[in-house]
Amino acid sequence: MSSFYSDTGQRSGIAGWMMSVDHKRIGIMYLSALLLFFSIGTSLGVMMRLNLISPGTFMGVHTYNRLFTIHGIIQIFLFIIPGIPVSFGNFFLPLLIGARDVAFPRLNRLSWWLYLAGAFLVLASLFLGGGALDTGWTFYAPYSIKTKTNVSLALFAVFILGFSSILTGVNFVTTIHRLRAPGMKWHRMPLFVWTLYATGWVQILATPVIAISLLLIILERFFGMGFFDPLKGGDPVLFEHMFWIYSHPAVYIMILPAMGIISEVVPVFARKTLFGYRAVAYSALAIAGVGYLVWGHHMFTSGMSDASRVVFSLLTFIVAVPSGIKVFNWVATLYKGSIRVDAPLIFALTFIFLFSIGGLTGLIQGALSANLHLHGTYWIVAHFHYVMFGGMGFSFLTALHYWFPKMFGRMYNERQAKIGWFFLFVGFNMLYFSMFILGVQGMPRRYFDYPPEYFTGHLVSTIGSWILVAGFVIVFRNLIIAIRKGPKAPDNPWGGTTLEWKVPSPPPHENFEEIPVITRGPYHYGNDKK
């Protein structure tokens, strides 16, 4: 049977891709775009690190301020938020629930176009008008209203990206409600599907709030209504609230699908059903639910009333518990398994380790008194790189290595993948762990220049970034070679039990010749019990 690569439908060439409504083609296109923006964004990160070992030598303060802003915007809005749902979600959601496509294939294509348009506008904003914006990715008013850089276009671009994200959320939630194969009850869904479901709801419920907040900033800049301008009676802190009402739930948009992938991979390599399926599934919903109520923990020093700070801190601690439940269940899944340590499992276990560090440091800064010291320092920078890069980033790499044979029909070199992992692991911890120490010492973030006592920490960190780059070069070189020359992959190289492994690699255009009928849970290994 021919794969979805050769089955082009009515159009061929570029149009066969751009006009395609096949979820797998859309997934592959998203994946390529994500990797492109990831390379651009991280390259900016490496340039920032270069400045920080010798401020002023390589760039001026204006350049630096714009670099970290664009680094943040690209990583957040073009890479990590669309991230796993649009790439692996698109490709695998229908396969995992036994469907031929998502509920609204053409809407899916529209999301993809909107994403491209948004990305294009972000890049255009760097060169038009007042040039690249310099507000930080948080766009705090009144600075974002006062600066002469091109904030309006960039915010408009983010607005469009938000629209794309909303449509993807609507599409996935409807798909999961309507298109599950016969017999796939809610408790027979693979966990990646559960997390996509929770994520979809967060996208639907949180994204509109940032859309309107950003629109208000644009309108402020053009018409000056004064909503966030104290001279006209407005309140700048209100913008912070509106921003974080979205942007805190957004961190769960980033991490939930990542957790879903870990829940898929651990059972397969332990040859064992997932420990505590229901606990893991419901904790995803709990994270999504409670995650709405904790945004104020970004504002412990903002001038908000002390009583609200106390409430937000309490809720912040509560939201950490379901993440803990997931970690414990993953570890318990390994118990009495029959474990093979292949590249995907190594990346998955690295996720657990790095995410735990990131999450636990989240607890430290979530405590009110400690936050007054740590807020706005490199401690926070370290925290979010651990959860975002160590968490979502490593989960992305897990998925890439786990599903690579299915997506491309080829195998990569296992040894190279492990060597790459080693460099990534060492480089990552050098780069970001030193930031925790810098933070405790009081090094503020978004600083172009700093007093000399912080030099050593920055030096170690920058050297780490080079090792990390080496790791990425090895990993991606390995995968790119595999796409071109790798040996053909079998349909089910890891012995997985979920539906995507029952179709050929790469899957045919129609996914399933016949829609399967589901009679048992997703991770059924072995002979005993149901």
β partners of residue 114: none
Nearer to other proteins, 34 or 398 (CB): 398
> In angstroms, what is the minimal distance from the CB of 104 to other proteins?
6
> In angstroms, what is the minimal distance from the CB of 40 to ligand HEA?
9
Give the sign of the dihedral formed by CA 17, CA 19, CA 23, CA 28: positive
Measuring CA to CA, which residue among 144, 125, 149, 111 is closest to residue 74?
Answer: 125
253 in contact with ligand HEA (CB under 6 A)? no
Q: Residue 118 is encoded by which pair of tokens?
A: 């948004």
C-alpha separations of 277 from 77, 186, 521 in Å? 31, 12, 9
Q: How far is CA 314 from the centre of its chain?
A: 26
Binding string, residues 456-485; x marks residues near ligand HEA by CB under 6 A: ---------x--xx--xx--x---------
201 in contact with ligand HEA (CB under 6 A)? no
72 in contact with ligand HEA (CB under 6 A)? yes
Contact present, 248 and 298 (Cβ < 8 Å): yes
Residue that the structure tokens 């609200």 belong to: 308
Q: Residue 192 is encoded by which pair of tokens?
A: 């990646």
Contact present, 87 and 482 (Cβ < 8 Å): no
Using the rule CB under 8 A, give the single segment among 19-27, 77-85, 400-408, 426-434 that binds other proteins. 19-27
* Cα angle for residues 35, 85, 43 (degrees, 5° grid): 25
* Cα angle for residues 90, 398, 460 (degrees, 5° grid): 125
257 in contact with ligand HEA (CB under 6 A)? no
Residues 498-527 that bind other proteins (CB under 8 A): 509-510, 525-526
Contact present, 108 and 90 (Cβ < 8 Å): yes
375 in contact with Cu ion (CB under 5 A)? no
Out of 49, 248, 375, 509, the only residue in the binding site for Cu ion (CB under 5 A) is 248
Contact present, 276 and 520 (Cβ < 8 Å): no
279 in contact with other proteins (CB under 8 A)? yes
> Side chain identity at 173, as an amino acid letter?
V
442 in contact with other proteins (CB under 8 A)? yes
Out of 129, 276, 289, 493, the only residue in the binding site for other proteins (CB under 8 A) is 276
Binding residues for ligand HEA, rule: CB under 6 A, are 35, 39, 42-43, 45-46, 48-49, 52, 68-69, 71-72, 75-76, 79-80, 136-138, 251, 254-255, 297-298, 300, 316, 319-321, 323-324, 327, 356, 359-360, 362-363, 365-366, 371, 375, 380-381, 383-385, 387-389, 391-393, 431, 445-447, 465, 468-469, 472-473, 476
Binding residues for Cu ion, rule: CB under 5 A, are 248
